[in-house]
Amino acid sequence: MNATPSHQALQPEFRLLVFLVSIGFFMQGLDTTIVNTAIPAMAVNLGEDPLQMHSVVVAYVLSVAACIPLSGWLADRFGVRNTYFSAIVIFTLASLGCGLANSLNELLVYRVIQGIGGALLLPIGRLAMLKVIPRTQFLSAMSLMSLAGLMGPLIGPTLGGWMVEVATWHWIFLINIPMGLLGCLITVKAMPNVTEPTVKSFDFSGFILLVIAMVGVSMGIEKFSSPHQSLWWSTGLITAGLMAAAIYAYHAHSHQNALFRSKLFSNQIYAIGIVGNFFARLGGNAMPFLIPLMLQVAFGFEPFITGLLMIPTVLGSLASKPVIRQIIQRYGYRNVLLVNTLLVGACIASFALTTADTPIWLRALHFFIFGMLNSLQFVSMNTLTLKDLPQQDASSGNSFLSMIMMVSMSIGVALAGTLVNVFTAYYGADHITTAFHSTLIFLGCINIITACIFSRIPRNTPV
């Protein structure tokens, strides 16, 4: 059967470019998840408390969130090939630094640099395909690239657990080096250096305000339970972050060249979607960090077994993809998000019922169900948020959503780590399982309360 003009098979001359972008997507997806199962082993090697190691995840995710607004401007100003090549070099060299790190502080510095490179990989790779590949073949290209994005989270936790057992945690970063070198070679060959003839000046003042807001709130929450920092220091960071966010809100309203203009939020559906995305992702995005930590620190599971147990979550996510569209079309965004937000919250809280003796088959089924519900939640929220944006706001609206998703992940992981430490201090070190259970119930309740946000979705919202 011949392909229709609206959806043609990908031509051979574009396959190398898609393969290149897939490498970047895979590296970023892998690095976001591979660390989670290795954290306890990293803590032992570095002489740190495993419950204080959430900064390794937060540092990477936060730097990704902070640099997302830079990606489009850099690509337009210096060209997609130059920027993408630089991103791979930064990411690869930072991975080498992470692999050679001998202290937590040294590792955190390289994780921040790695996040800067990671922040540019996916947006600029997608932008390159958008500028080079004809629209009739773009869907085929995106479908092929998305497979690489799914493979990273699928194998990341298991690969991380396996490498910790057969080698050392350093290799979870060092495996990026051959992929990075291959990516550099293909970038020179396959990616044209497309630039824009006119580029607006970058909103550096707005960018700095956003960075202060994100870093202040995330780091303030993360340092809240740190034995090395006072409560006043954490409170000051959070206050500075919130003040910077408030100043940026005024800046976005008054500055003509602001990164994200305030008029975006005049769209009611977009505003609800952004706020809902932020709060609904706090619990869901913290689970890939919190569950492996609980399985190893509280239940005594080996890293490799922990990684294997994470696979049903990704399989559940994949299994839900074919039916999400039909569910939304049948029940509408409001009903789906109201009910599913409650279900996700209840599912997160229900992990507090598990113990070290929970049967493996029941645990795997539990993870599978969570993966399905979480995938339905994320896809529904994202689609709702972007569906009514006018064309002229689509780019900035999508970038702001991407930034909010990463900020929510950063704050979610920081909050989960802080809660575990607070509850451990309250119950005592001998009741570490109770501390994890209390954290899960708390995060589940946040998700359940978030349903109130989605109740604001108009009942007649079209699908």
Asked if residues 314 and 158 have their Cβ atoms less than 8 Å apart, the reply is no
For 28-73, how does the pLDDT look when each residue is reduced to its tens digit (9 = 90+)?
778 777 888 888 888 888 888 888 888 888 889 889 888 888 877 8
Residue 434, Cβ neighbours under 10 Å: how many? 16
Q: How confident is the model at residue 2 (pLDDT cuts 50, 70, 90)?
A: very low
d(CA 352, CA 434): 8
Domains (ranges, CATH) in the chain?
12-196 (1.20.1250.20), 204-258 (no CATH), 262-463 (1.20.1250.20)
- Top-confidence residue, 187 or 387: 187
Kindly state the greatest CA–CA separation across the chain.
Answer: 68
Q: Which of 253-267, 331-345, 386-400 has the lowest mean pLDDT?
A: 386-400
Contact criterion met (CB below 8 Å) for 37 and 292? yes
Give dist(CA 256, CA 126) in Å, integer.
Answer: 27
pLDDT tens digits for range 175-200? 889 988 998 898 888 877 877 777 77
- Residue 425, H or E segment: helix 391-427
Given a contact cutoff of 8 angstroms between Cβ atoms, the answer to whether 29 and 145 are in contact is no
Report which of 130, 127, 19, 133 is spatially closest to residue 75, judged by C-alpha positions: 127
Residue appearing with tokens 């044209």:
192
Task: Please compute the mean of the pLDDT values over residues 418-425 and round it to a whole number.
Answer: 91
Q: Which residues contact 177 (CB under 8 A, 6 or more apart)?
A: 92, 95, 96, 99
Does the pLDDT at position 450 exceed 60?
Answer: yes
For residues 31 and 57, the answer to whether their CB atoms sit within 8 Å is no
User: Which residue has tokens 């995106």?
Assistant: 142
Concatenated DSSP letters for 49-105?
-GGGTTHHHHHHHHHHHHHHHHHHHHHHHH-HHHHHHHHHHHHHHHHHHHHH--SHH
Residue with more model confidence, 392 or 257:
257
CB 313, CB 419: distance < 8 Å: no
Q: How far apart are CA 222 and CA 416, in angstroms?
A: 9
pLDDT digits (tens, 9 = 90+) for 115-163: 999 888 877 777 777 777 776 766 667 667 666 667 777 788 888 889 8
φ/ψ of residue 436, rounded to 5 = -65, -45
Answer whether 165's CB lies under 8 Å from 114's CB. no
pLDDT for 126 equals: 73
Cα 384 from chain centroid (whole Å): 19
Q: What's the average model confidence in pLDDT over 318-342?
A: 88
Alpha carbon distance 343, 30 (integer Å): 28
